[in-house]
Structure formats: structure tokens, C-alpha cells
Chain A
Amino acid sequence: MSQSWLLKNGRIIDPRNGVDRQGDLLVVNGAVAGPGEAATDGVREIDVQGCWIVPGLIDMHVHLREPGEEYKEDIVSGTRAAAAGGFTAVACMPNTRPVNDGMAVTILILQRARDGFARVYPVGAISKSSRGESLAEFADMKAAGVVALSDDGRPVRDSQLMRRALEYAGDYDLRVISHSEEKALGRHGVMNEGAVSTRLGLMGIPTAAESIMVYRDIALAEYTGRPVHIAHVSTIMSLDLIRAAKARGVRVTAETAPHYFTLTDEAVAGYNTNAKMNPPLRSEPDRLAVCEALADGTLDAVATDHAPHSTLEKEVEFDLAANGIIGLETSVPLTLALVRQGLIDEKRFVELLSVNPAGILGVAGGSLAAGVPADLTIIDPALEFDYTQDTVVSRSRNSPFLGWRLQGRAVLTMVDGRVMYDLHQRCEQHSS
């Protein structure tokens, strides 16, 4: 099947190359065409009037659950959900079973990803089995294909280990992604500590549990001169620390997830286990601070922390329920809501979801320059849809946004010029 397309009448938003124009985009043999290139015989035309054409979106923080927990998600189902959500690439966290702390698991993931619907960038573990005791083999994993390192979900407690990880990772040009959390605070916590946790009688996790470790990680990045990326930032204090660190030149980048700028801890009311995640949903002032930080550059990326769980983990007592929600299919509409509210502009939207994740991970993408692989997402910003149990593409359905009417979504997702998702069925589907 041809991988040549003429995408007509779209709004091309490509901030890396300073482009925001109305017009056509030509893809020839799976790559973005150069200025002189003309449509050849095999080119198929698609009218994308009213839609945006943007560099393929990259979700730099997902859990694909393979190997080990395929009943929740696997690489094929997870990347299918990614493509449906407009993502052409995802970075998958290493907390699989076994943990991706070495070459073997990395190779397995990349092998499985060949049947997937989006590019998969494995993130390797910082420590062996993510136990926080000794360093995993970074050089080996880098050679096998990991793009970054993280002990996500099992935050590195030992500051010396974290220091060594930053130093050693720097030698292999791998970014350390920190799930910054002091676990001793809120050891029994199941939601944000505050008036709502008191009302619901649920044990709290204080905001300080996050900011204490954000400060430690910034201090180590500053001391070693190595970069650090802070995952899923949720509190005012963390954002203030990151903002100040950036101002004095510390190499720190940070992401947040759509639920932190969309919901507050009030969503837990009724003991909704689909509103349980870690870090927990915070208060309204925290939510507003996250919105502000997305606009002012304190936060660099939106990543979903897509964390599929089955009913076995979620249809249980709130205290016993697993942390995490799926997010790949709701990230675009929830982030577009910020554009509609005037909090960020279209260019910033593309930076947060494509340009910056590519830059932080050091992977291709985030650009529609001539000659680059045609990884692109076509978004209809006006299209409204109901997000329901029946429409979820992911294998799991643990979303607090079920039943929401959302606005704006990907209608076409291409990787290397191949169609990975086509909402309106206008193209022949890429057969996996």
C-alpha cells in the first residue's frame, strides 16, 4: 500500500519549524515532502478541512503492562489506544513483570512493538528490579534501545543511588525520569491530604511527599550538572521549586498529566477508585498552578501516565484499589480544553505533546520538516464525542472521564506515512 498522501486544506502547526499556516501537506513514500516535490501517481488525497496537521504526538509516560500483566494491556492493545488518541509514539515505563532492568526485556518489548500501532520507546529501570539498591546496566539497555531511565512507581529512596544514577546515565546520554515521592510521608495515604480526605475518612498523602523529593532531585541535578526530568508534577510547591531551578539554569524538565489540570480531589467523592492514582488528585489551587505552569514553561510536557488496571484491581474497597488511570484516549481533548479556555495556545499544545517530549527523550519526531518520517496527527479540534465504556480502545477501562462529553480528538494518526488510526475510515487501514 502506498505511503504517499496529500493532506489538503489543513492547518499545519509545526512550532519547531516556525510554521502555522493553512494549506496542504504532501507525504511521499512515508516522509514529509520537500518544497520542490510534487505529488506522484500513487498519492491519495484526503481533505482535512477544519483540522490541524501536527507532528505526531508523543506520550512520554505510559505503562503498557507487557510483559507480565497482559490481562490489563499489552503492547499491541496499548499502542492501538495510543494511535486512537493521536499518539505516534509512547515511552513505556519499566515496571513490568519482570522489571525492564536489562537488555532481555528491552529487546522483548521492541520485538513485540513491531506489531504495534505506534513507536515504542522503552524506559529502563534505574536500579535492578527497581529495588532501589544497585544500578541497572545502563550501557547494555542503551545498546538494546532504551531512551531514558526511571524507577517509576518505586521511587529511588537512597539519595546516593540517585546521585550515581544521574552521573552514570549522563555518560550514556540517557535522561533520568524521577517519580519524586517521599514514601514515608503518607505511607498509608490513598488520596490527597486535605479537607476532602478528612471528610471521606481516607488517609492522606501530603503535598510535601512530592515536593521534598522534587527538591532533592533538583539539588542533585544542580550539584552533578546532569539533567533530570520530573514525572507527573501535581503540586504548587513542586512547580515553584522547578520554576526557580530553571531560572538559575539547572537542567530540569518536567511533565504533568491531564488529570492534574482537569480534576481535583473532589473527584474521589463516592469513593471512585477511578480517581485514585499516585500522585493523587490535588486541590483546586494546585490544579490552577499546574495550568499556569503549562503556560509559562515551568512544565515542558503533558504525559498521561496511562496506567491500565482491570476490574480486579479497581472494583474493590477504595483503600485496596490500585493506583492509576488510563489516559491515552483522553489526553488530546483534555489538553485542548486548555486551548479553548485561553490558557495555552495551539503552538504550546503541540510543544507540550510532541516537540518537547521528543527533545527530552532525545528521539526523532516533533517536527514536520522536509524529509522527516511522516509521523503526524490530524486533529479535529471541534469534534465532540462521548467517551464511554463501549468506545474505549485500551484493554482496561479505568478512567474517571467515562461518561464525559469531550471536545477535540485525533481523526487520523500516521507513523512513517502509514495510517495507524482513521476515525472516519477514509483510508485503508494499516494491517498489523
Chain B
Amino acid sequence: MNSGKTMTTGCHFSHKHILGIEHLSAEHIDHILQTAESFKEISGRSIKKVPTLRGRTIVNLFFEPSTRTRLSFEIAAKRMSADTFNISASTSSATKGETLIDTARNISAMHPDIIIIRHSCSGTPEMLTRYVRASVINAGDGTHEHPSQGLLDMMTVREHKGRLDGLKVTIIGDILHSRVAHSDIIGFTRMGSRVFVYGPATLIPVGLEKLGAVVCGSLEEAVRDADVVMTLRIQKERQSDPLLPTFREYAQNYGVTREVMALARNDALVMHPGPINRGVELMPDVADSSQSVILDQATNGVAVRMALLYLVMGNT
């Protein structure tokens, strides 16, 4: 590995765990993104493998169904030559049997180097750090954070815009239940972007401005002159909480169409953390337009996760 290239900032990366963007300074975010940019090239090779993490053991501990994030982490680990193991458990079956802490202690006793955890309860990765010796990477916890997604979003925007500073980043949709929105709001704000959010009041959490976001009063205000327009997956109802009357009404009032995108800058990027409800929060023609960088997000996800695995291992 060309460590010289990744260390150009001279940043001392001291994080053993990646629990959330909230714990990362602008300098550290920049360092992760630079490291990821340098790793991206590996995925373009015909032999997509470097020996950097040979002999390292990585456990994917997923308490919530996930296809893309787990696959992305697994590909990242394998491209770094680490040994990976997947454990899937539903939270409910885990509650009936073994406690999370017992599961964690058992896994820890087998000496993994990194545990990647996804859990439907916020704060679980942080709790895990108190019981295991391994590095812990949060692959999404409840409605708290999804730091690797936030980082890959920043990487994708920086790749296309050349910077993050001074950009207007707009996020539309279910902010209340979105850990991606939380990580993006904190991350983009920390990197100098201005983050604007919009959605029905039922989906905007109290005190969001304290995270650094501007809560807009209209779709027009949110999208006008935006450099980035990100939409989030919408759910009509969650655990019997009536959030929206119909998808139809949502699509008509909050859905991002070509007309809405016309308010943004001509070169504005269209993003979505997936999976998309086509025709609800994002119209198919917008999702598939030349402005869409949704597939770049997936590509960069692997690079960002390679960088995180490398960096938490003390970049040795």
C-alpha cells in the first residue's frame, strides 16, 4: 500500500472505533476521504486485491437485514485480504435467547480485529465497545448514525464538485427516521457545506437545527440553487405512527421531479442512499438522469469502507 500518499495531510488518525461522524473532526473526515480516494483505484484493477489486512479477522454482526451495506463492507474487507465472517441475527430472537452483551463477549473471545455492527437500536455500537477488545465500526444504528454512508456521500460530492466547502446540500424526506440524514447533516456541515432539509413536519425531528441543519419552509426554498439534492426513502407509517396520508400525496408535494430539479443549480447532483421508492420520493427520470450519482455512491462505498478498515487498524 502506498502509505505515503494516504498520509499527505500529516493527520494523526487515532480513532479505534468508528461510531459516528459526530466523533470525527473535519481534519479526520478529510483524511478518511483522501485515504478512500487512494483506495478507489484498487477496485478498478483486474486483480482487485491488496494484502494490507492479510491475517486480520473481521466479523459482520448484522442484527437488521441489509443487502448493500453488508455486501459493501464484505467486498471492502476481501479486497484488503482480511478474513470475513457474517453473523445475522434478528433482534427479536436475540432478545429471547442470548443478550447482546453475551454475544459480544463470545465473539470477542475469538479475537476478531474488527466488528462491524448494524442494529435497530441507536447506541448499540457504542455499547459494544465497552465489552469487546476489537475495533467497532457502526454500519447503521437505529435512527442515530450511518457514518460510512455519510462518508461515501461526502466522497461522492467532493469527487464531482472538487470541494465540500460552501456547497448547498439539500436533504428531502424522512429526516426523523434517517440515520443517513443525521450523519450527512453533521458531516457536510463540519466540512463547510450548508445543509438544508425539507419534508412534512411529521418527519422533521425536534431540535434538528442544533445539528447544524437549516429547516426549510418550502420545497422551493430547500432546492433553489442547491448543489446537491438528496432524497430519502419514505415510509407511510412506522409502528402505527401515522406519518403521512398517502404516497400519492407525498409524491405530489415532496417528490423530486424534473421541475423541482430545475430550481437547483444546473450542475446539481441527485443522490439517494437507497433503496429508492421510484415515483414516490424520487421520479424515475430524475433518478436515471445524467445528474444522478446514485451508482457512484455505491462504488465509493467500497473505497470508503476499505479506508475505514485500514485506518482503524492503526494504518500499519
A contacts, CB < 8 Å to B: 187-188, 193-204, 206, 270-271, 312, 315-320
Contact = CB atoms under 8 A, between A and B. Distances in A.
Interface in B133-184: 141-145, 179, 182
Contacts of A195: 206-207, 210-211
Interface string B97-138: 001110000000000000000011111101100000000000
Contacts of B120: 319
B46 interface: no
Contact of A204 (B119, B123, B144, B206): B206
Contact of B239 (A188, A196, A202, A316): A188
A320 B127 contact: no
B206 A193 contact: yes
Contacts of B100: 316-317
Contacts of B141: 201
B143 A203 contact: yes
A319 B142 contact: yes
A189 to B, nearest CB: 11
B205 to A, nearest CB: 4
Given A316-B99, A317-B119, 18 more contacts: A188-B239, A194-B207, A195-B210, A197-B205, A199-B211, A202-B123, A202-B144, A206-B206, A270-B126, A271-B122, A271-B123, A317-B100, A317-B121, A317-B123, A318-B122, A318-B123, A318-B127, A319-B121
A270 B128 CA distance: 11
B241 interface: yes
A203 B177 CA distance: 9
Given A188-B239, A317-B127, A319-B122, A201 B179 contact: yes
Contact of B207 (A188, A198, A315): A198
Contact of A198 (B119, B211, B240, B241): B211
18 contacts: A188-B241, A194-B206, A195-B211, A197-B206, A197-B207, A198-B205, A198-B207, A199-B22, A201-B122, A201-B143, A202-B144, A204-B206, A312-B99, A316-B101, A317-B124, A318-B123, A319-B122, A320-B121
A188 B126 CA distance: 21
Interface of B: 22, 91, 95, 99-101, 119-124, 126-127, 141-145, 179, 182, 205-208, 210-211, 239-241
B99 A201 contact: no
A187 B243 CA distance: 14
Nearest to B124: A317
Leading 3 A-B pairs by shortest Cβ distance = A195-B207, A201-B144, A271-B123
B180 to A, nearest CB: 11
Contacts of B122: 200-202, 271, 318-319
B210 A199 contact: yes
Given A194-B207, A270-B126, A316-B100, A200 B119 contact: no
Contacts of B121: 317-320
A243 B95 CA distance: 44
Most chain-A CB neighbours within 10 Å: which of B120, B141, B205, B211? B205
Nearest to A319: B121
B178 to A, nearest CB: 9
Nearest to A315: B101
A218 to B, nearest CB: 26
B76 to A, nearest CB: 24
A270 B126 CA distance: 7
A318 B128 CA distance: 12
A315 B207 CA distance: 28
A418 to B, nearest CB: 43
Contacts of A188: 239, 241
A317 B239 CA distance: 19
Contacts of A198: 182, 205-208, 210-211
Given A193-B206, A271-B122, A320 B95 contact: yes
Nearest to B208: A198
Nearest to B128: A317
Contacts of A200: 122-123, 144
Most chain-A CB neighbours within 10 Å: which of B100, B143, B207? B207
B144 A196 contact: no
A326 B145 CA distance: 31
A271 B205 contact: no
A201 B207 contact: no
A195 B212 CA distance: 11
Contacts of B206: 193-195, 197-198, 204, 206
Contacts of B91: 317
A87 B240 CA distance: 44
B182 A201 contact: yes
Contacts of A203: 143
Nearest to B131: A315
Contacts of B211: 195, 198-199
Contacts of B240: 187
A47 B94 CA distance: 57
Nearest to A206: B206
Given A198-B205, A319-B142, A187 B241 contact: yes
B309 to A, nearest CB: 24
B241 A271 contact: no
Contacts of A201: 122-123, 141-145, 179, 182
Contacts of B207: 194-199
B242 to A, nearest CB: 11
Contacts of A320: 95, 121
Nearest to A193: B206
Nearest to B209: A195
A271 B119 contact: no
A206 B127 CA distance: 25
Contacts of B144: 200-202
Contacts of B119: 317
Contacts of B205: 197-198, 204
A317 B89 CA distance: 15
Contacts of A318: 121-124, 127
B11 to A, nearest CB: 25
A316 B102 CA distance: 10
B123 A315 contact: no
Nearest to B183: A201
Nearest to B142: A201
